[in-house]
Amino acid sequence: MIKKWGIIMTLSKEDYKHIPEISDIENKKPIFWKNPDYNKKADLRFDLADIFDADARWQRFAPFIAKVFPETKNDKGVIESPLIKINEFQNQWNEELSDSMHIKGSLFLKADNLLPITGSIKSRGGIYEVLKFAEHIAMTKGDLTYRDNYAVLAEEKFMNIFAKYKVAVGSTGNLGLSVGIAAASFGFRTTVYMSHDAKDWKKDKLRSNGVEVIEYDSDFSHAITEGRKCAQADANTYFVDDESSSDLFLGYSVAALGIQKQLKDHNIVVDDKHPLVVYLPAGVGGSPSGVSFGLKQLFGENVYPVFCEPTHVPSVTLGLITGQNSNICVEDFGLDGLTAADGLAVSRPSKIAGPIMRTLLFASATFEDKDVYRYLARLEDTEHISVEPSATAGFCGLKALIAKEVAMNTPKTTHIVWATGGSLMPDNEKIHNYQYGKTLN
């Protein structure tokens, strides 16, 4: 149901039969969709100044982060992940596939699975939004100034102020981990509303950090709706809304500044003759959209974002293909929304992602669950890197692009697969995922 010219209009999947990819989407077949609006004039609600503002806030909070999270002390409270050249993975890929499917350029893994504190890309957006809220409370209810050393926020006088407030979030897993652990570190009373897709170990991790976890035997959309409803009933509760948060989006966008420096360190040039293709797993769409926006601000037309989603829950792809964005969900097309890639199990896309990515997204690819397990095992075998299933979705996008867009796979192309999470997985979970992946190879 959508609203147009003030009139409520009801649309069904029959209204989109003219779109070639719709039939394959309905039949859960992998697709590669090239965005026809890519690089058209964009009407963006943010700009580079917003990214720099978010980065400055990260820098102000670095002393606090270093004090409260010892694992960040060596990096002086900076939350960043390495950019890893994965030669052995690329070599095995090229040995096993035909010449036409070889990766001809350089292949890197952006290892957000190694981000400190919560081991996922959600450390960027989720923690950032908590930091911004804490800064607001500390300044309006306490005596914090911008020039203070923010390590003072770990002192009792501020903790007593924070304890009067509550932070809540709806999540399939990783965002809940990031928001929950970060909010608890300030002393905020914290609640995470989790869908049936969330892994038990993530719930256990939150509870061990003093976070209240409320579980629902339903999907993400229901969990976030219930969480939002509960938060609205309490004036002292701050709700981190994964479907519409600008702060989450900008927290993710700062990743582009890190990538810019890391590419320079690797002597990688990005220009019209040296394209950069970035493969990003997409759930609700906030984190890949934020990263893509940041990269586009820095590299313009020379960076090509590709979103990667499960065939059972391609919510962002559907929103963009139909032009309906968050007004449409996968259930409207008879899909069940079920996937082993729990971080991507979101049936309705972000309200922000679609409008911003309408002209920034180069393409979108969908994949079957078995493929992410295959790549998970291969990444472990070749590079000894452990990730969760959703974190290898980018390799599915890479394979689809090579098959469909030959011109984008040249010796001068740099490919970055964004590994979105996994370092906090318990060993038994890692072993199970790896062994299952090996049975598929």
3-state secondary structure 162-228: HCCCEEEEEECCHHHHHHHHHHHHHCCEEEEEECCCCCHHHHHHHHHCCCEEEECCCCHHHHHHHHH
| Phi, psi torsion values for 242, nearest 5 degrees | -65, -15
Q: Tell me the domains of the chain and their CATH numbers.
A: 29-45+77-117+252-440 (3.40.50.1100), 121-248 (3.40.50.1100)
Closest to 278 measured CA to CA, from 266, 292, 261, 260: 292
Q: 363-367 and 32-34: which strand pairing?
A: antiparallel
- At position 41, the amino acid (one-letter code) is K
H/E stretch holding 289: helix 286-299
Q: DSSP E strands: which ranges in 382-440? A: 414-419
What is the per-residue pLDDT across 107-135, written as a single tens digit (0 to 9) for each? 999 999 999 999 999 999 999 999 999 99
Those residues with Cβ within 8 angstroms of residue 70's Cβ, 6 or more apart along the chain or in another chain: none
What is the per-residue pLDDT across 58-92, written as a single tens digit (0 to 9) for each? 999 999 999 999 999 999 999 999 999 999 999 99
Window from 141-145, 175-179, 250-254 with minimum mean pLDDT: 175-179
Which pair of tokens denotes residue 73?
């002390």
The helix/strand/coil state of 91 is helix
The reported pLDDT for the residue numbered 11 is: 58
The reported pLDDT for the residue numbered 171 is: 86
What is the per-residue pLDDT across 17-30, written as a single tens digit (0 to 9) for each? 889 999 999 999 99
